[in-house]
């Protein structure tokens, strides 16, 4: 997949090495997608618009700490793609998913990309989050904020939760405030951005 030919380095503020890593990840993802259904986002433009832009905006928030847990990693976005282009190679990335086959893909891809700072966990996050001891938790298209809070609030180490949301966020947050777990969180930062496909929001939350 010739992502290098599409990405303007200045436009996305990526180095040539980051572009190469993103392109390699995209090639692996699309190859695996022929074996198992990982993503509906196919093609160079779709990969950039549907995956890479999300990760770029995640880094632009400048909120990632030393140990990041990607909850519901799925096809590897945002966590595995972010780890691939992360300029801070000391940062640790933990990827988790409840589906064993997806975890096998994440593990194999991390190895193929040479990402020694990535670990993969299969199963429900409640069973191993205290083992991971994340300082940041990120999640995209996994569940509502109150459901995610219920899964991770028993862990004391994380200091920020970053969620990828869209236009329905305000209503979701309103409903979360009616839930005992949602009431334990507060919003500290919102980053709005748009792609060709949709309007998006990155929300940062902390414990009260």
The alpha carbons of the chain give a radius of gyration, in whole angstroms, of: 16
The residue ranking higher by pLDDT, 40 or 149, is 149
Tokens, residue 44: 């160079």
Q: Which residues contact 160 (CB under 8 A, 6 or more apart)?
A: 63, 65, 135, 136, 137, 188, 204, 205, 206
Whether the CB-CB separation of 51 and 41 falls below 8 Å is answered with yes
Q: What pairing do the DSSP bridges indicate for beta strands 136-140 and 160-165?
A: parallel
Domains of the chain (ranges; CATH) run 63-207 (3.40.50.150)
CA distance 191 to 200: 8
The residue ranking higher by pLDDT, 196 or 50, is 50
pLDDT tens per residue across span 89-146:
899 999 999 999 999 999 999 999 999 999 999 999 999 999 999 999 999 989 999 9
Predicted confidence (pLDDT) at residue 163 exceeds the cutoff of 90:
yes
Predicted confidence (pLDDT) at residue 48 exceeds the cutoff of 90:
no
pLDDT tens per residue across span 4-43:
666 665 567 888 899 899 999 999 998 888 887 777 766 6
Q: Which residues contact 194 (CB under 8 A, 6 or more apart)?
A: 200
The interaxial angle of helices 145-152 and 169-176, nearest 10 deg, is 50
Neighbours of 204 (CB within 10 A): 18
Does the pTM surpass 0.85? The reply is yes
CA distance 16 to 206: 34
Predicted confidence (pLDDT) at residue 193 exceeds the cutoff of 60:
yes
């Amino acid at each position: 997949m010739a992502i290098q030919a599409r990405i303007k380095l200045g436009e996305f503020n990526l180095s040539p090495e980051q572009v190469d890593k993103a392109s390699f990840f995209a090639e692996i993802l699309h190859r695996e997608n022929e074996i198992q259904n990982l993503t509906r986002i196919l093609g160079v433009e779709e990969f950039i618009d549907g995956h890479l832009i999300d990760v770029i905006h995640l880094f632009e928030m400048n909120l990632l700490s030393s140990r990041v847990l990607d909850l519901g990693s799925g096809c590897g976005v945002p966590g595995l793609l972010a780890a691939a282009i992360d300029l801070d190679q000391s940062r640790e990335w933990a990827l988790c998913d409840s589906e064993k086959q997806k975890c096998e893909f994440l593990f194999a891809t991390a190895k193929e990309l040479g990402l020694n700072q990535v670990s993969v966990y299969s199963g429900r996050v409640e069973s191993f989050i205290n083992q991971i001891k994340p300082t940041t938790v990120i999640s995209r298209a996994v569940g509502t904020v109150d459901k995610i809070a219920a899964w991770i609030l028993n862990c004391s180490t994380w200091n920020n939760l970053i969620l990828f949301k869209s236009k329905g966020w305000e209503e979701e947050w309103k409903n979360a405030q009616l839930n005992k777990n949602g009431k334990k969180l507060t919003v500290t930062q919102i980053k709005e951005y748009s792609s060709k496909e949709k309007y998006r929001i990155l929300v940062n939350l902390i414990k009260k």
